[in-house]
Amino acid sequence: MRTLIVTSSLPYPPASGGALRAYGIIQGLAHAGHDLTLLSFHDGTPDPTQTPLAHLCRAIVTVPSPPPRHHTQRLRDLLLSNRADIACRLYSPVFEARLAELLRQPYDLIQFEGIEIGLYMPQARRAAPQAQIIFDTFNAEADLQAMMARIERAQPVRWPAALYSWIQAQRIVNYEGALCRMADGVIAVSVEDQTVLRAYRNDGKTFVLPSGIFVQDYQAKEHAQLPAHALVFTGKMDYRPNVDAMLWFHKTILPRLPQAHLVIVGQKPTPRLQTLAQRGRVSLTGWVDSVTPYLRAAQVYVAPLRMGSGTRLKLLEAMACGCAIVATSTAASGLSEQARAAMLLADDACSFAQAVQSLLDNPERRAALGQQARAAVAEAYDWPRLIPRLLAIYAEVQYGQRRHSSA
């Protein structure tokens, strides 16, 4: 099957949630015999031809990322239009032109990875009316923005951010809904997201494919040198749900754990997080080549997320490394019952701290939970197990289209 994959960034190295998902899908489809073309925004290194993507794709086309939208542009759109910011954040006439060139060739399937890149879906729909278009969502975005607004309105200092998210949530409903209805099939990463997204269309073509990892890639034995009683959190540290999680943990949970040291592993920590490292018992690594050594050295992996949707790939990575995990229900949402049973869940500061302390005090329980977690992620979230589900989704979408065409 001739397939065009469109992504907001080059999915290599697979070091973020979106890249991990897109790379897993690309590798799986290539091994299943798909003839793949990849179109991505990409700046600088690595050279795509020097990555494994070159062996998986017939062609890789990249375009420099558009410059960040100036705050005056965003304010103008906020006040003078009804457009969601996410609907125009990645607009590029160069990207539009390259997509037009690619669409002169016939494709059986065109898959858009994430809502940001979905702004080019109408162009694909017009230029390739016979192709099956798949919208692979990473989140139920309108619902996520509404959740951010609810959490942040509790802090007066965050009222501007809460108001912004509330406005964006109202606008994203229209944009997200239009994309879902335009696609021939919509893929959600969790049952919870599917429940939200299926309200946009009533034909049953909203499916679930969890995000996954390549479990074998997390078997390396290297350990980072971390302080005693190290609690590790990983993620892109300019992402609001991650920032909120760490600020909440530092303020309300870490003081209840007097011996613990919090290690925040991830790129682009915001200034609000950087100040935490100056107060003691907090370390920030910034960008690291691999999170695996940090996960293997963790006493406990913590996921105190209060906002978010989808599947938390950070949790899957921690499980694959055999970490004992304490997470909120929000962090663990979207995971299988088997995966949730392999971690301790707590939603208030006191309970969360007690769960962490119980694991710090009990090495045997930590080891047992880690083994349980590793088995759970291998069973349900290894990409070789997930790709057949994706192929089944494609088959169902195509069958429905043929049936519709012949009716």
Question: Which of the four pLDDT bands, split at 50, 70 and 90, describes residue 377?
Answer: very high
Per DSSP, helices labelled H in 129-211 are: 141-152, 159-182, 191-197
- Return the pLDDT at 406: 34
| Nearest Cα to Cα of residue 377 among 233, 256, 212, 266 | 212
Taking domain 215-380, whether its CATH number is 3.40.50.800 is answered by no
Contact 38, 30 (CB under 8 A): no
Looking at every residue in the chain, the average pLDDT score rounds to 92
Contact 203, 183 (CB under 8 A): no
pLDDT tens, position by position, 101-143: 999 999 999 999 999 999 999 999 999 999 999 999 988 989 9
Average pLDDT over residues 228-249: 94
Q: Which residue has the higher pLDDT, 219 or 186?
A: 186
Cα(339)–Cα(232) distance, rounded to whole angstroms? 19
Angle at alpha carbon of residue 139, lines to 108 and 327, rounded to 5° = 135
Q: For residue 397, is it left (φ>0), alpha (ψ between -120 and 50) or beta?
A: alpha
Break the chain into its structural domains and give their ranges: 2-212+383-406, 215-380
Asked whether residue 232 carries a pLDDT value surpassing 90, the answer given is yes
Asked whether residue 149 carries a pLDDT value surpassing 50, the answer given is yes
User: For the whole model, what pTM was predicted?
Assistant: 0.87
Per CATH, 2-212+383-406 and 215-380 having the same topology is answered yes
What is the CATH architecture assignment of 2-212+383-406?
A: 3-Layer(aba) Sandwich (3.40)
Contact 187, 357 (CB under 8 A): no
